[in-house]
Structures are given as structure tokens and as C-alpha cells.
Amino acid sequence: MGALCDFCGEQRSMVYCRSDAASLCLSCDRNVHSANALSRRHTRTLLCDRCVSQPAMVRCLVENVSLCQNCDWNGHSAGSSAAGHKRQTINCYSGCPSSSELSKIWAFVSDIPNVAPEPNCEQGISMMSISDSGVSNQDNAAGNSSLLDIASATLMSDLDTAGKPKSLIGSSSEAGVNLLPLATDQTAGSVDSTTAKVPYTADQDMFSKDSIYEDFCVDDVDLSFENYEELFGTSHIQTEQLFDDAGIDSYFETKEMPAGNSDEPKLMQPVTSNAVSADSGMSIPGAKGDSSLCIPVRQARSSISLSFSGLTGESSAGDYQDCGVSPVLLMGEPPWHPPGPEGSFAGATRDDAITRYKEKKKRRKFDKKIRYASRKARADVRKRVKGRFVKAGEAYDYDPLCETRSY
């Protein structure tokens, strides 16, 4: 039994709405997201079967579970016995699809309950769009059938441990499947599906050419993050709990940071503002886009470089890497590689990135750090006027030592 629906609190939550930062049962999902046009645009996806708190990104066909990126990485990391498991991307949807329509999209999910059609959603799947590519059925001349193609696409049977399809080219074109970058959250992110159209057709072998980036014609988008929840898709506490996972901690317990780590000072900075925690950069779940950052790499790089707090335009690649952002992602290296010697390099790079990310996550403190307890103690007992400290002996309106105000 998974977590209960955040809305009704009765049914088992099944889908995750990043815009609402809520886990919902299908019934409430339809109710909530049929309220108005805006809510219908919320993109949802399956809930991670493992952590039951994050949106699932992939479906492990071997274990038959849906996993968020963190759980996927943890469970299918290089060297683990599960590293070779076949995985399939899980697509987001918006609109108000019926349970049968969801069943078509998520054919691998056997227990989609029947949900009565919502009166406000008479358009049903006609309103539905797969946010993977910004390709909606309205845009897709192939209609619903291709929609399902998209939904079932990207069979990751040949994925290496970095989640990079090895034989993407062949499988995509041969099967007539529209293989597209992983899902973006069009509402949680600024990646507007209306502008982020990917002009891809099945006969375009975009993955086989060096011109891969040129084929992504996405307007430069603002990837600024509006709040922490949106960024992480969960609350601070939840996130910390997530990464307080004993498995993760135990994994790093014996590992020492190398001396002279250039990012050491930065690590000491409390991350209390809505500035983007660089940790997010690794998985960037909900980071105005999905964890897999399905926006084209080049665009992502340019946008992120302007949006990550503390990272200026002059920031070097090392800065980004220090922040845990995969150099693969940031430096324009494609998120996957064709089979070949480069693959192992990419895997190592990714492992390095994961290592940095986890180390940093372990060390990070989200609450305010008190450097001088004595000063805090002093401030705690200091008298104030409208929040400001006042000279000793002056009239004051707030005595922190008193239960009630003096004014």
C-alpha cells in the first residue's frame, strides 16, 4: 500500500502533479485537474513506487516498478546487479485522460482503477498532451495512435547504466516510434510546450548526427526556479528525508572529501534562499523541467547558467560541476552516446557526478547555520523596538525574555 492521496487522503496515490506538488489518486487527479484550463495544463506522471514521494521517470521492466530518477540511479547504478535492467521512460500527461486512456499510455501499469469520466473533461484525451516533447495530439498529425507511440516510446532496453540508449537510433526509426527527449514539465518549468516544439519526425535521424543540437529548435527558455518545492518537487523536509536515506549515507560514510576541494567554501554557505541548490542540478527534479532535463542540452546549458544562483555567466564549468551538475549536462556533451568507447567514459563521468552530488547532499544543511552561538544567545535576549535592537536602557517594545509584549 503506497502513500495516500494528498487530496482525499483515502485512496492510494498514484500520480504526481509537480505543479501542485501533490500525490493524487486517479479520481482526485481528474477532479482537481478538470477544474479549469490552467489546472488541465498541469503535467502529471506516475508516482515513484520506491520512495512514493517523487515523480517516476522510468519503469523498470524487470522489477516491474516505476522509479524516480534518484531511485533509478540508486537501484540501477553501475556495478549493481540491477544495472542492466531494461527500463522504459514514463511520460507525463496533462488534460483529463480517462482510466482507459491512461491504461493505453501506461500499458505496463496493471492496476489503473476505473475512474468515472469527469463532466468537465468531456474532451478527454483530446485535451491530453504528452509533455515529453511538447508534442500534443493537437500538434501531431498522426493523431492518437502516434500519441500512444510516444507514450510507449523510448524502450530503454539498451540503456547503459547512465540511462543512455545505446541503440536508440535503430530502435526508434525501425519501430516507427517517435523517440523524444525525456519529459519536461511544462507547467512546473518555464519550458513552454507551446514554444518547445521539437521538430522531430520519425524519419529524421537526429540522434545519429553531430548536428543533434541543431535539430532541437527550442526557444531559449527561462529556467529560473521559483521556489524550493517547485525545484525539488517536495518540501525541504521531505527532501532531506529523501536524501537522509540510510543507503545513501552509508554509501558515503567512509568517503573523505579530497583536500583542497575548490568548492569547499561554497559548501559552507547555507542554502536558505530560493536560490537553486546546486544539488538540484544533478537530478533537477521539478527544476522547471523534469529531472532528466529533457530540454536540449545546449539550451539547458545556456539557460541554467543564467538561472543558477551564484553562478554567473563567467562561472566556469568547474563551478557547475562543483555544484553537482553533471558536466555531461552542462558542457554540452550529449546526454547519451552511441555505443562505443565513449560510453564508458560517460558512465564514469556520470558516476563522478553522482558521487559529488551525493557527497554534497550529505553535507548540505538547509536550515540556517549559526556560526556563533554566543551571538545568537545575545541576540535572543536583546531588547528590540519593531524588531530592531535598541540600546540598553532605552525604552523597548519587545523583550524576548518576556512572554508578552511590553507595549
Residues that bind DNA (CB under 7 A): 38, 226-227, 273-275, 368, 370-372, 374-376, 378-380, 382, 384, 386-393, 398, 400
**Beta carbon of residue 369, minimum distance to DNA (angstroms, whole number):** 7
Q: Which is nearer to DNA, 92 or 271 (CB)?
A: 271
Cβ 257 vs Cβ 359: under 8 Å: yes
CA distances (Å), 111 to each of 87, 114, 158, 227, 357, in order? 19, 9, 27, 34, 35
To DNA, the closest distance from the beta carbon of 224 in angstroms equals: 9
Would you say 268 or 348 has its CB closer to DNA?
Answer: 268
What whole-number distance in Å separates Cα of residue 392 and Cα of residue 404?
19
Nearest residue (CB) to DNA, 256 versus 386: 386
Smallest gap, in angstroms, from Cβ of residue 18 to DNA?
14
DSSP labels, 207-225: GGSGGGTTT----------
Answer for the pair 71, 85: CB distance below 8 angstroms, yes or no: no
Type of residue found at 304:
I
CB of 260 to DNA, least distance (A): 19
Rounded to the nearest 10 degrees, the angle between the axes of helix 341-363 and helix 236-243 is: 120
- State the maximum Cα–Cα separation within the chain, in Å, rounded to a whole number: 83
Closest distance to DNA from the beta carbon of 407 (Å)? 10
Which C-beta is closer to DNA: that of 246 or that of 391? 391
Question: For the chain, how far is it from start to end, CA to CA, in angstroms?
Answer: 54
Whether the CB-CB separation of 234 and 21 falls below 8 Å is answered with: yes
Minimum Å distance from CB 264 to DNA? 15
